[in-house]
Amino acid sequence: MSSVGVAAIRLLERYGVDTVFGIPGVHTLEYYRGLGATPIRHVTPRHEQGGGFMADGFGRVRGGAGVCLVITGPGVTNALTPVAQAYHDSKPLLLLSAAVDPAAHGRGTIHDLPDQRRLTEQVTAFSHSATGIDDLADALARAWDVFGSARPRPVHIEVPVDVLRRPAGDLPDPARPAPPPTADADALRAAADLLAGAVRPVLVLGGGAAGAGAQALELAEWLDAPIGLSINARGAVDSGHPLCVGSAMCFPPVSDLLLGADVMLAVGTEFSELDWWYLDGPPRLPQSLVRVDIDADQLSSQPCTPLHGDAAATLASLAELVRERPRRPGDAAQRVAAALAALQWPGDVSAHLELVAAIDRALPDDRIVAADSTQPAYAANHAMPAHRARSWLMPIGYGSLGCALPMAIGAKLAAPERPVAALAGDGGVLFTLTELASARDLGLALPLIVWNNDGYGEISDSMLRDGIEPIGTDAGAHDLVAIARGFGCEAATTRSMDEASSLIATALGRDRPTLIEVRS
């Protein structure tokens, strides 16, 4: 008879999980007994933080939940940064751990925490301690409800070591996931009336609409409405589409175009300050605002016509209602083109456009880029074209350093047929540089582009702007190329943007990662 730990892995398989990221330990042996008997792929990071970032990147590209399997105590706390990142960005992620037996708490037990569940519940939709196989099955069913029918958030499920070892008995069947909410019919019709009667309608898509680009585009084309994208939504609509202003919506005159609308349809966005960073303050939204969100709490945060439902389904319903009205010809494409042509990037963006262009030239349109908190990535958030949904992985909101490389590894495993690159700064890359060894083990053709400005350049600049002598910002590596080669990877350094572009293109054809250091 299988143990609860083995049964847990079999339940994951029934939910369609094909890859987990984790480092084994003495408290998770029963999970690993189960992994040995399933086709689920196990990927070993060099640190649980890297494993959490990998699971996050994997899930973002797949459009589902990545799974991170960790030991009790330090495994959980090491993974909390990527879990918090996923929480901030409303991304699904399952953190599956062991737990110290309740009777052993406070007795010097290895990996003990005072209350592991309460610690993790601060950055998860819920944290649950399973008491047996039926309870575990219920918790997994609840997790998949969160992932698919509510605002996506991470979930933590722990199983005490003594429970993991118990006989499981018969394996429960996975519960049928709950359907997402459906927008109220009267509210839909009221929203359709507003949009159809608008003279200058616009759409703004957030991360919650990342998978609803086709429906948004159908509606925008009928309404002749410009489309703005948050950083989390980049690629939902191809930035080359004539109606799309991409994620340049915080720069005039693009911001004027969007905020000057008479009706705005905002889908899956919380109007984060990060998406409107360059404005003088919060965006002054049009009086007529229609909001679509799967999270009802978002819809009560400001006056609007609220549509509580899944982004794609709600937009499809709106398009069907709007098509009942005559299609109105307009000049939105010309207004978008004029606004983009008149856009003048601020200095902190324009300073990095050469590198952004070099990366753009080197990578095919179906690329995926995972980016860290670094100055060129901040510029690329707005200036680099994005052609596909879930292709720009830049968790700017939580701002955790070190995410780019492991997220790119997860992304490449999720979509091995697509070119994937990572973009990081020389300060941030050191948080997780050891994951080069993981990428080398996996034989991934992965360019890691490192902007080297000898430390934490953004923070140094911020200190200088505030009249503070920089302290603690000189924290780069002495020889990144030698370090990368020590991990068995290819590596090169350059100050030429043309050479950087060539190095990136060459790296895509290798059987191992390539670190490309671009000196400032």
CB count within 10 Å of CB 103 equals 10
In which residue ranges of the chain is CATH 3.40.50.1220 found?
185-342
- Is the predicted pLDDT of residue 328 greater than 80, yes or no? no
Q: Which CATH number fits domain 347-519: 3.30.420.40, 3.40.50.720, 3.40.30.10, 3.40.50.970?
A: 3.40.50.970
Identify the CATH number of the domain defined by range 4-165.
3.40.50.970
For position 102, what pLDDT does the model report? 79
pLDDT tens readout for residues 440-485: 999 999 999 999 998 898 899 999 999 999 999 988 888 999 999 9
Gap between the Cα atoms of 22 and 430, Å rounded: 20
CATH class of 185-342: alpha beta
Strand partners, 494: 518
For position 111, what pLDDT does the model report? 83
Query: For residues 267 and 216, is the Cβ–Cβ distance under 8 A?
Result: yes
Cα torsion angle, 120, 121, 127, 131, sign: positive
pLDDT tens readout for residues 390-407: 999 999 889 899 999 999
pLDDT tens readout for residues 270-281: 999 888 888 888
Distance of CA 371 to the CA centre of its chain: 10
Gap between the Cα atoms of 51 and 336, Å rounded: 41
On the 0-12 / 13-18 / 19+ scale of CB atoms within 10 A, 36 is: exposed
**H-run or E-run covering 30:** helix 29-35
pLDDT level of residue 173 (50, 70, 90 thresholds): confident
In which residue ranges of the chain is CATH 3.40.50.970 found?
4-165, 347-519
- Is the predicted pLDDT of residue 1 greater than 70, yes or no? no
Question: Which token pair is 137?
Answer: 């099955």
For position 320, what pLDDT does the model report? 96
- Is the predicted pLDDT of residue 372 greater than 80, yes or no? yes
Output the average pLDDT for the chain: 95
Q: What percentage of the chain reaches a pLDDT higher than 90?
A: 87
pLDDT tens readout for residues 72-125: 999 999 999 999 999 999 999 999 999 988 776 677 678 888 899 999 999 999
pLDDT tens readout for residues 297-315: 999 888 999 999 999 999 9
Enter the pTM of the model.
0.96
pLDDT tens readout for residues 479-488: 999 999 999 9
